A and B are shown apart, each in its own frame.
Chain A
Amino acid sequence: MPINVTKYLWKIYTEFTTRIYDIPPRMLGFLSFIILAAIPLMLDPAKLDFLIIANIFAIFAASWDLLVGRTGQISLGHAIFYAIGAYSTALLYIYFKWPLWLTIPLSLLVGAISAFVIGLPCLRVKGPYLALLTFALPFSVKGFIYYYSDIFGGDAGIPPIPDKLYEFFPMLSGDQKVIANYYLSLGLMAISAIILYKIATSKTGLTFISILDDELASKACGINVTKYKLMAFIISGMFGSLAGTVYAHMIQHRVDPLFLDVTYSVYPIIATIIGGIGTIYGPIVGAYIYCFLDRYLFQYIIPCISIPLGDHSISIPLGDKDVRMLLFAAIVVFLIIKWPRGIARTIVEKLEDLEEPREIEEIEKEKKLQI
């Protein structure tokens, strides 16, 4: 009996401290999860909504990062997956009256299939071609949606999706629903993060990076680059749709063409650049930072700018929304030029410098112990 316990403790220990291919200690991730889970105990529920959005955006940003940061396929139109997720779950519910536990997974499937369809032409193109192709996509689909207003609801979008997430728990008060939403979104984010982490540390993840680094060399190694690029597209599309689906049900309760706006394509970019592109934790941390700044900082800091110009001083009253998007875009530009690794990644790398890399021999030894 005692031997089994030590084996499991050892397994947990190595699970959290093993470093493979430069991914930082998972202990950090686990600790942050604990902290995040404890937040509702500290904060009053009314303030939780930006954290819920943060979780959703984290999933969205992570899906973008998989495509861009890991396989180098730049997507400037990721909003399309967000919208596909939201619209498909809403449509399935409104028109077919299928229950939520069916429409949500189905919308993921729709996301995966659309990613496949979208990915196919995208595979043939690179760099600016791909960027502009993905950029033009949501914009073009918007026209399509307005054309078929009778199905898609045009501007107003699909009629509000009833808040069915907790229909089996009618006793929950408004506040408690918010907390439940928070934990649900946190759970989904954690699961997404773990799945993406497993993919990133697998041989497939390795192949993704090889495609990012040098496609031609990857082909020379026998890798079917097209297959892997498509795979990345599908996974990215699935998680992007997940984000849109969750948002439609938890927050909006309504789905409209706003989801196809270029701003939704830019949100994951902002989050990922702030956090650190090409990592798992980067987009997640970046999403949190973005939502925090969005909610608290910018609102209070810049109500109005006065530029004194002799006689006539120009006073530019700055509305809420305008400043924030402007500032975020400016931050992204600044970060890319001066600090391309992102904030979270720089911190993590500083931490890694303190830790010593362990030989693969030792890692193998530990692995054998677990058998």
Chain B
Amino acid sequence: MPLLEVKNLTKSFGGLIAVNNVSFSVDEGEIVGIIGPNGAGKTTLYNLITGYLKPDSGKIIFKGEDITGLSPNKIANKGLVRTFQIVRPFRHLPTIANILVSLNSPRGRKKIEWIKTPERKAMDMLEDVGLSDLMLEPAENLSHGDLKRLEIARAMALEPDLLLLDEPFGGLNPVETEYMVKTIQRIHLDGHTLVIVEHKLQALMKLVKRVLVMHYGEIIAEGKPEEIAQNKKVIEVYLGKAI
């Protein structure tokens, strides 16, 4: 049974169809990428899956359970966790406190091993993403690259079964990008299932085993990275019909 099943998901705003009858599934242990030009509906898709938007029609089944229409925090507590395209740290809190918020959720509190205190666990998570020195720094003072890593750490604190990353490489310089690639690879090797929406195709294609291509709210292609890179329709969509 697939970990996540999206069936015929549709959402429109006014007259504009943002997501048009999208269906796909993700198996446990997979690492899947979603690409597509701006406005293709990728973030809307995420918002639908994670409960921030209610679909007009369609179903979302996670671990065999129908989660369509549930609130975002309930979905997160079931193990379906997301990050945001534009970072959303808790600015007034120190870095470590950002993680502690996740650990204070019902899922976070369940999963803390009984030996470790939440503070200890949070420190470990920060170490995993390399933010240990900035532990007590208010989140508002962090650089963009650091904030991206904080997003990931905060999501990982919930020990997700499925992690949805929204443009994790956005705005990162080559060094930070490489570090992020390694971090994501490590998360995947640890056994987590990942779906990544991303524009930086080089970084993404290295990471994922399967790619979905979205355009105007529909999935227009699906397959291995090498296949997608050769797919005529995909190339057209990205570069325009001139070629």
Contacts and interface: CB of A to CB of B under 8 A. Distances in A.
Q: Report if A and B touch in the complex (beta carbons < 8 A).
A: yes
Contacts of A204: 104
Contacts of B118: 203
B102 A222 contact: yes
A21 B101 CA distance: 13
A219 B138 CA distance: 20
A220 B72 contact: yes
B231 interface: no
A203 B104 contact: yes
A364 B119 CA distance: 9
Interface string A205-242: 01101101110111111111100000000000000000
A21 B93 contact: yes
B195 to A, nearest CB: 15
Contact of B90 (A22, A213, A219): A213
A209 B158 contact: no
Q: Could you tell me the dominant secondary structure of chain A's interface residues?
A: helix
A219 B92 CA distance: 17
A214 to B, nearest CB: 5
Given A206-B100, A206-B101, A210-B101, A219 B72 contact: yes
B154 A221 contact: yes
Contacts of B98: 210
Of the four ranges (under 10, 10 to 19, 20 to 34, 35 or more), the interface on chain A belongs to: 20 to 34
B154 A213 contact: no
Nearest to B77: A222
Interface in A357-371: 357, 359-360, 364
Nearest to B160: A222
Given A203-B118, A360-B135, A220 B92 contact: no
A357 B93 CA distance: 15
B76 interface: yes
Interface string B94-131: 10111011101111100000000111100100000000
A209 B93 contact: yes
A155 to B, nearest CB: 45
A224 B76 CA distance: 10
Interface string B133-153: 001101000000000000000
- Residue among B96, B107, B120, B136 with the most chain A CB within 10 A? B136
B93 A221 contact: no
Given A221-B101, A222-B102, A222-B107, A21 B88 contact: no
B73 A213 contact: no
B67 to A, nearest CB: 14
B59 interface: no
B84 interface: yes
Contacts of B200: none
B81 interface: yes
Given A21-B97, A210-B101, A360-B119, A217 B89 contact: yes
Of the four ranges (under 10, 10 to 19, 20 to 34, 35 or more), the interface on chain B belongs to: 35 or more
B233 to A, nearest CB: 33
B136 A216 contact: no
B100 A209 contact: no
A18 to B, nearest CB: 13
Contacts of A364: 117, 119-120
Contacts of B155: 220
Contacts of B73: 218-225
A133 B236 CA distance: 52
B84 to A, nearest CB: 7
Given A203-B100, A220-B81, A213 B105 contact: no
Given A220-B72, A221-B102, A213 B84 contact: no
A212 B84 contact: no
Nearest to B157: A221
Contacts of B102: 221-222
B71 interface: yes
Given A219-B71, A219-B73, A221-B154, A212 B92 contact: yes
A360 B124 CA distance: 13
B50 A223 contact: no
Contact of B52 (A203, A216, A221, A223): A216
Contacts of B97: 21, 206, 209
A223 to B, nearest CB: 5
- Residue among A21, A213, A220 with the most chain B CB within 10 A? A220
B136 A214 contact: no
A222 B108 contact: yes
B42 to A, nearest CB: 17
B182 interface: no
Given A214-B90, A357-B136, A360-B136, A223 B96 contact: no
B76 A213 contact: no
Contacts of B100: 203, 206
A214 B86 CA distance: 12
Nearest to B94: A21
B240 to A, nearest CB: 35
B82 interface: yes
B181 to A, nearest CB: 23
Contacts of A220: 50, 72-73, 76, 81-84, 88, 155
18 contacts: A203-B100, A206-B101, A207-B104, A209-B97, A210-B93, A213-B93, A214-B89, A218-B101, A219-B72, A221-B101, A221-B108, A222-B76, A222-B77, A222-B107, A223-B104, A278-B92, A359-B136, A364-B119
Closest 5 CB pairs of A and B: A222-B105, A217-B88, A222-B76, A219-B72, A213-B90
Interface of A: 21-22, 203-204, 206-207, 209-210, 212-214, 216-225, 278, 357, 359-360, 364
Given A221-B105, A224-B106, 4 more contacts: A213-B89, A216-B84, A220-B88, A221-B158
